[in-house]
Amino acid sequence: MIDTTRTDPKKTLPASDGTLLRKKLHRVLLRSRLRAFGLVVPLLLLIIMAFLVPVVLFLVRAVYNDTFSSNMPNVTPMLAKWDPASEPTEEMYAALVADLIKTREDKSIGRVATHVNRQLSGTRSLFTSTARRAARLEAPFKRALISIRKEWGEIKTWHAMKIAATTYTTAYIARAVDMQLNADGSYSARPEDRRIHVTLFLRTMEISIVVTLMGVVLGYPIAFLLANLPVRTSNLLLILVLLPFWTSLLVRTTAWIAMLQGQGVLNDLFVIFGIATDEHRFSLIYNKTGTLIAMTHILLPFMILPLYSVMKTIPPSYVLAARSMGASPWTAFWSVYFPQSIPGIGAGGILVFILAISFYITPALVGGQDGTMISNFIDFHMRSSLDWSLAAAMGLVLLVIVLFLYWLYDRVVGIDNMKLG
Amino acid sequence: MAAETGDEAFVVFDRVQKSYDGAVLVVKDLNLDIEKGEFVTMLGPSGSGKTTCLMMLAGFETATSGTIRLNGKPINNIPPHRRGIGMVFQNYALFPHMTVGENLAFPLQVRRMGKSDIDAKVRRALNMVQMGEFAARRPAQLSGGQQQRVALARALVFDAELVLMDEPLGALDKQLREHMQYEIKHIHKNLGITVVYVTHDQSEALTMSDRIAVFNDGVIQQLASPEELYERPGNAFVAQFIGENNTLKGTVKAMNGQRATVRLDNGDTVSALAVNCGHADNRTTLSVRPERVFIGARGDLPVTKAAVKELIYLGDHIRCRMEVYGTDEFIVKLPNAASHIHLTEGEAVDICWETDDCRALDG
Amino acid sequence: MHLKTLLTGAAFAALMAGTAPAKDLTVVSWGGAYTKSQTEAYHKPWAAMTGKSIVSEDYNGGLSEIKAQVEAGNVTWDVVDVELSDAVRACDEGLAEEIDMSVLPPAPDGTPAAEDFIKGTLDVPCAVPTIVWSTIFAYDSEKMADGPTTIADFFDTAKFPGKRGLKKSPKVNLEMALMADGVAAGDVYAILSTPEGVDRAFAKLDSIKSEVVWWEAGAQPPQLLADGEVAMTTAFNGRIFNAVAAEGKPFEIVWDGQVWDLDLWIIPKGAPNKETALDFIAFSTDTQRLADQASWISYGPARQSSAPLVASYNSRPDLKMAPHMPTAPENFRNALQNDFEFWADNQDELNERFNTWLAAN
């Protein structure tokens, strides 16, 4: 039946000027595509340069750290080959001394020492003090070093160096989830009194989820009201919803402190109305409660706006139709209106959740003991401890969690089911 | 129409008024009786109060004063979901998150009907509108006409005796609209339901209705059968709103029984059928249907001079715009019959009409 | 390594690129009353003398900004006021320029600078100390007539009921806990270097954990006291003094068990106006300037020769500054110097442990 010698007519259809129609169409489309692409180029470049590149470069630090390997060139290859079950050799001690002399001269000893110290507390002063005297040491170096500080004879010092010497390492990611990488390549749980990150990740999840749920519960009726009021009134109310955006986050958070603190407005009212006694006022701030209240308030507009814009598109006739068919007001709302507002809940929920999961100023100010979140610790390692590798690893883990939740959302609800307006 | 409670009409609007702001009445003193099985259309321009009346009947608006009775019982205080009235909306209002079948099952489910009953009723209702195969589809996968059929089936599936339709065909193209008009008409006839239909399309109203209530300015201008309405419009608004119409303004000079002598604004005098032009010296509007005008003299009918200004060929007829009695907006429809008269633009002709076809209405 | 540095630099440069206004020197400090004291005592006289202009910027401490600037090769700061621990670390990690200490002027009586500065404070080759500040604890004397007098009282919630304010950091808290538990100031770091010592300090903290309100910024403690949120709180002594002297708050400082520390000037590596910066540092750390600063804020001058020159609080001639200095003999009796070396070695571990302890209920 099929004549294989005949070419596909679709491919050979000529345009009026004799060129192939497909080719011609392709060229025309290409031109319009290029023009469209040209419009987004400035933004694309900005995003790549100011966002994507720094983020990727920073995240690379989660698995890449050459502080040791680039500054300790002699001992690094030996450490890599060394079997951590065996004793370090004299040769390795000699290489170590050579490297210590070099790092003292080029002033990189501080960085190396800090780096190793993150594996084993106390090694920082071990390195810096030894480096000051390294130039005067004589062979045999093993005995010489141990005579300065006995820690040089301890195997755990060398294990810490072996881990620190690895340029590409999973040590930071392991630490971000409360595990530790051992010198023999195995992983083990960190000591119990130093396991903090998993607790924090879970707490961050918990706070974000509760804030999102509170946002839905509080924001839904407001959005519903806004969407069903006459335009004049709803515009006015919408301004009230947006009003907080005109105030700095810091001011709003501080206002909550004045409201919620022990001697604050709310507790004073509780005392006046006899809900609390003056001696036992409620702890509403500097804890998780404070974080939840302040974050819910600050993020509420991000829930209301998508909800409002979705509700605005739901024709009132749906509910009228349901009522005319015999549905009570509640049934009409629940089985007809609500399902159609789900895209708004989805959009608002994702927006609030993603903002909440990386919230940082508010928990820092009102979080107190049990209301701080993972981003506060990322900040701590960024600014105070300067352990940028660990900060990057924690950021990476957070990113993976968010992506996983996003994937989960797509599977369960469907990402198409999200509408911002 | 109806007098005593015993044999009162199925739907009664009794001195119903509606105001949204307490200052302006949107519906002024509405009295309307609708018999069981009747197809009544509320026709009028937008803002005339027709949709408000429908919404009051459905229960989505409350009457400011007066009562609405359904089957003899006042329903002012019954919420919409207890009224048992089916309703078809302009944009169909099919629930997008439910399939066609689920949409139809919805009113039955809220009535807590058994599953097998629901299935049977849904199938019957869908078959009635020839949509039997589409039960599993989503509304978004249907064409406008199909959605309209589903909306219709949904309003009928729970055996409502009264079905309200709020411009249900407004979004359809002309051909489909005409087709659906017949279909709705047939369903109405087969089921014996009572339909209250709102539209601003007068041809739709004429096609479908048993009676038409012409609304303007919150008042029923005329309530009558299509034929009555078209042939014998009660006032200038109705004449203008229903069908095409030539109007000539003038003053009543003399009344002579059914006849009125009218002096037109350009000075000429015309004889017309007195409908509601009042008495001598009243301002009046004369109404002449374009298809009732003859070209040339006919019998002893009084002729008048006319100048042909414009000819538009419309297939089944030719529209001819003429200058008559000082107005150049006078339209005459010439049927495209085998022996019709050929006119040319600029030509001067005589025209005439039956005196009864020239109706003297309110000024 | 090179490519990465280059890329990181490019990225940071893209982020931080901004045109600087015309100025001769950018001096960065902690803001508030502290920066004001520096502006009055150092910046204004230096500008008047040299005719050069200073742009004063605020920051929140830590080395992250300096590290970012140095790594990006786009340093905009010339002089930065840092804590001792950061000064040492900046020096160790090559983030700060080495300073030739011979440019520092001698005391008026001819004592060379190296001997004039408080012993042990001039050891960091990249940093010149300016002040001695201290973490103390304070209470509101109006609310507590018969107030606490020793560091042990701070941890005694039976004798002095009420909430306690503590900095949300293990540093200082562990030392104070041990001193309250009866450890002499001189033994604190030796004991804290043993696992048992750390356990002991945490156990002491545990005894008041449920009563603690944690603060992070230096401005918070006076506010917590003023609001009645806490009965007593640790704080930086200058902040409490400022609330007393400038705002008339009835706060009382308990000097027993104070933990003192230094603030120092450093010059970030690759600072744009290095020579001018050096000149400014030499000027601002001379005997008179350090003494002048002490009339604006109650931090002790780092030069011994400045102490006799310290006069009264700027706006209140009746308020002698000397008794309010951490270094005043009666305040200095049971004082502990923050041990940088100990914290450099152990901060990662102790921070983690502290945060884990904090998160556990």
Give me the pLDDT at residue B6, please. 55
H-assigned helices in C235-305: 237-247, 274-284, 287-293
Angle at B42 between CA B48 and CA B49, to 5 degrees: 25
% chain B with pLDDT above 70:
98
In this prediction, residues B135-157 reach a mean pLDDT of 93
Which of A111, A193, A382 lies at the smallest CB-CB distance from C356? Answer: A193
Distance, in Å, from the CA atom of C121 to the CA atom of C114, rounded to the nearest integer, reads 9
A413 and A271 part of one domain = yes
Burial of C15 per CB tally in 10 Å (0-12, 13-18, 19+): middle
The structure tokens listed for A314 are 């739901």
- Facing A386 at nearest CB: one of C67, C229, C357: C67
Q: Which range marks the domain in which residue A24 is found?
A: 9-47
CB-count burial class (<10 Å; 0-12, 13-18, 19+) for A312: middle
Which residues in chain B touch residue A325, judged by CB atoms under 8 angstroms apart? 81, 86-87, 106-107, 110, 154-155, 158
Using a CB–CB cutoff of 8 Å, tell me whether A250 touches chain C: no
N residues, chain B: 363
DSSP state of B52: H
Token pair, residue A97, equals 């001394």
Find out whether A210 and A199 touch, Cβ atoms under 8 Å. no
Coil, helix or strand for B142? Answer: coil
Question: In angstroms, what is the C-alpha Rg of chain A?
Answer: 31
**Using one digit for the tens of pLDDT, what is the confidence trace for C104-159?**
999 999 899 999 998 878 888 899 999 999 999 999 999 888 899 999 999 999 99
C212 Rama sector, left if φ>0, alpha if ψ -120 to 50, beta otherwise? beta
- Min Cα separation B137/chain A (Å): 17
Q: In the prediction, which pLDDT does A418 show? A: 64
- Inter-helix orientation angle B144-156/B174-191, to 10°: 20
- Can you tell me the distance from the alpha carbon of B223 to that of B228, in angstroms, rounded to the nearest whole number? 9
A240 and A304 share one domain: yes
What 8-state DSSP symbol labels residue A173? H
Give CA–CA dist A292/A273, Å, rounded. Answer: 24
A362 in a domain, yes or no? yes
Q: What is the pTM of this model?
A: 0.80
- Residue written as token pair 């402190």: A257
Decide if A369 and C214 are in contact by the 8 Å CB cutoff.
Answer: yes
Q: Does domain C3-132+262-323 have CATH number 3.20.20.70?
A: no
Answer yes or no: do A25 and A93 share one domain.
Answer: no
For residues A367 and A221, membership in a common domain is answered with yes
Tokens of A340: 């159609």
Phi/psi of residue B302, nearest 5 degrees: -70, 130
Distance CA C242, CA A259 (A): 26
Is residue A94 domain-shared with residue A153, that is, in the same domain?
Answer: yes
Nearest-angstrom CA–CA distance, C256 and C175: 12
Both A40 and A90 in one domain: the answer is no
Domain boundaries, chain C: 3-132+262-323, 135-260+328-359
Nearest-angstrom CA–CA distance, C130 and C302: 5
Q: How many residues does chain A have?
A: 421
For domain C135-260+328-359, say whether CATH 3.40.190.10 is its number. yes
Q: What is the mean pLDDT of the segment spanning B151-170? A: 92
- The sign of the torsion formed by the CA atoms of C205, C209, C215, C216 equals positive
Q: Is C34 exposed, middle or buried (0-12, 13-18, 19+ CB in 10 A)?
A: buried
Domain total for chain A? 3
| A175: in domain | no
- Hey, what are B164's tokens? 């309200």
Asked, for residue A246, whether it belongs to a domain, the answer is yes
Rounded to whole angstroms, the Cα distance separating C94 from C85 reads 14
Of C15, C345, C353, which to mutate for an interface test with A (greatest number of A Cβ within 10 Å)?
Answer: C345
Give residue C218's pLDDT: 84
How far is B182 from chain A, CA to nearest CA, in Å?
A: 24
Neighbours of C, requiring at least 3 CB pairs below 8 Å, are: A
Quick one: A296 and A390 in the same domain? yes
Q: What is the pLDDT of residues B335-350, one digit of tens each?
A: 888 777 788 888 899 9
In a domain, residue A188? The reply is: no
User: Cα angle at C282 between C281 and C286, to 5 degrees?
Assistant: 110
DSSP secondary-structure letter at C303?
A: B
DSSP string, A274-336: TSS-SSS----SSSHHHHHHHHHHHHHHHHHHHHHHHHHTS-THHHHHHHHTT--HHHHIIII
**Residue B226 identity:** P
Q: With residue C33 as reference, give the H or E element that holds it.
A: helix C32-38
Kindly write down the DSSP assignment for every residue of A8-74, as one continuous string. PHHHH-B-TTSSBHHHHHHHHHHHHHHHHHHHHHHHHHHHIIIIIHHHHHHHHTTTB--HHHHH-TT
Q: What is the mean pLDDT of each run of 10 residues along chain A (421 residues)?
A: 49 64 86 91 92 92 94 94 92 94 88 91 90 89 92 94 93 93 91 90 95 96 92 90 84 89 89 86 87 93 92 92 94 94 90 91 85 90 87 94 88 71 53
Query: pLDDT digit string (tens) for C161-218?
Result: 999 999 999 999 999 999 999 999 999 999 999 999 999 999 999 999 989 988 888 8
The whole-angstrom separation of Cα B26 and Cα B18 is 6
Residue A2, CA distances (Å) to A11, A13, B96, B301 in order:
17, 19, 45, 78
Same domain, yes or no, for A160 and A214? no
The pLDDT of residue B1 is 42
Residues A278 and A342 in one domain: yes
Q: What angle do CA C221, C224, C226 make, to 5 degrees?
A: 110
Task: Measure the CA–CA gap between A262 and A279, rounded to whole angstroms.
Answer: 10
Q: Does A228 lie in the same domain as A85? A: no
Residues in chain C: 361
Residue A124 resides in a domain: yes
Q: A interface mutation test: which of C66, C88, C93 has the most A CBs within 10 A? A: C93
Q: pLDDT of C248-306, one tens digit each?
A: 999 999 999 999 999 999 999 999 999 999 999 999 999 999 999 998 889 999 998 99
The C-alpha of C78 sits at a distance from chain A's nearest C-alpha, in angstroms, of: 20
pLDDT of residue A419: 63
C56 contact partners, CB below 8 Å, separation of at least 6: C27, C28, C29, C35, C38, C39, C43
Q: Where are the alpha helices (DSSP H) in A48-140?
A: 53-60, 67-71, 75-81, 90-105, 109-117, 123-134
Any domain includes A202? yes
Tell whether the model's pLDDT for residue C92 goes beyond 60: yes
B295-328 pLDDT, tens digit per residue, is 888 888 888 999 999 999 888 888 999 999 988 8
The answer to whether residue B227 scores a pLDDT higher than 90 is: yes
Give the pair of three-digit tokens for residue C182: 């009866």
C-alpha–C-alpha distance, residues A297 and A256, integer Å: 9
Residue B98: strand, helix, or coil:
coil
Do C233 and C245 contact (CB within 8 A), yes or no?
A: no
How far the first Cα of chain A sits from its last, in Å, is 53
Q: Would you say residue A299 lies in a domain?
A: yes
Q: pLDDT-based confidence at B243, cuts 50/70/90?
A: confident
The per-residue pLDDT of chain C, averaged, comes to 89
Across the interface, whether the CB atoms of C344 and A125 are under 8 A apart is answered yes
Residues A241 and A124 in one domain: no
Tokens standing for residue B197:
């239909």
Is the Cβ pair B58, A328 closer than 8 Å?
no
Task: Please determine whether the domains at C3-132+262-323 and C135-260+328-359 fall in the same fold group of CATH.
Answer: yes
Chain C 146-175, CB below 8 Å of chain A: which residues?
163
Query: What is the SS3 assignment for C26?
Result: strand
With an 8 Å Cβ cutoff, is B171 touching chain A? no
Which strand (E) or helix (H) includes residue A240?
A: helix A231-242
Determine, for residues C213 and A54 on separate chains, whether the beta-carbon distance falls below 8 Å.
Answer: no
ipTM of the complex: 0.83
Rounded to an integer, what distance in angstroms lies between the CA atom of residue B316 and that of residue C263? 101
CB contact under 8 A, A325 and B95: no
Are A41 and A105 in the same domain?
Answer: no
**Residue A75 in domain:** yes
As to burial, measured by CB atoms within 10 angstroms (0-12 exposed, 13-18 middle, 19+ buried), residue A317 is middle
| SS3 at position C71 | helix
State which H helix or E strand residue A179 sits in: strand A179-181
* Helices and strands in chain B, H and E counts: 8, 20
Ramachandran sector of residue B138 (left: φ over 0; alpha: ψ -120 to 50; beta: rest) = beta
Cα–Cα separations (whole angstroms), residue B129 to A299, B125, B147, B292: 49, 7, 11, 40
Rounded Cα distance, C286 and C108, in Å: 9
Cβ-based contacts under 8 A for chains A and C: 109
